[in-house]
Amino acid sequence: MEKINREDMLELTRRMTLKRNCFDRIAGAYMDEEGFVDGTFNRHFQKLTARERQDNLDIAKAIPFSDTNVQLREYVISETDRRQGSLWQLLMALKECELKNDAMLDVFYEEFGSRYRANGSYAVMFFHGSYDVPLKAGDKASLWESEEVFRFLICAFCPVSGDYKPGKPDCGFLFPAFRDRSSDIHRIDVFREDGRFAAVERWEDALFR
């Protein structure tokens, strides 16, 4: 398990407001307590109403803004976990397609639903974002040029009420990790609202147990 720099997370969350929004797409599924899909959605983020955008920004922001290294912990994704057909490979593909491939999303929902057990119905909420990481001058003043474009996914798993309104996330992740102000595809930041991480090495176990 790796340590997360809180300043990296705060830098990201400053781009998760209505005026400085870094997200371009939201997708997800409503799941019953047995892990079966009740319905799906996939929309351009800017086509949501202002109220919908704010509600969804609050959900996405809750993960990087959570208690660093307590509720949000960083894991190295081993070479074994990056094999052909792995969940990591699926996340890489979802990032590259910017959540525009519903067939790949369905594979994720099926995989997650078969492994995650909830006390009731829940929503899987995917957000695709991009952030032009500014260069830093010697005095740490931001320059106009971008150092790189950080393209990433946030996924939140939220309990839902009878009207399918998602509540605050119970768990989720940020992928790739944003480490030293740069993308690291060999790491992932896993979120658990209760902060109860099993004593495991693998990120999948940390998320699913």
pLDDT tens column, 153-188: 999 999 998 788 999 999 999 999 999 989 999 999
* 203 in a structural domain: yes
pTM given for the model: 0.92
* 10 in a structural domain: yes
Q: What's the domain count of the chain?
A: 1
* 55 in a structural domain: yes
* 163 in a structural domain: yes
* 1 in a structural domain: no
Instruction: Decide if pLDDT at 136 tops 90.
Output: no
- Can you give the residue range of the structural domain that contains 61? 6-208
The pLDDT value given to residue 74 = 96
Strand partners, 21: 16
* 78 in a structural domain: yes
* 136 in a structural domain: yes
pLDDT tens column, 84-100: 999 999 999 999 999 99
* 104 in a structural domain: yes
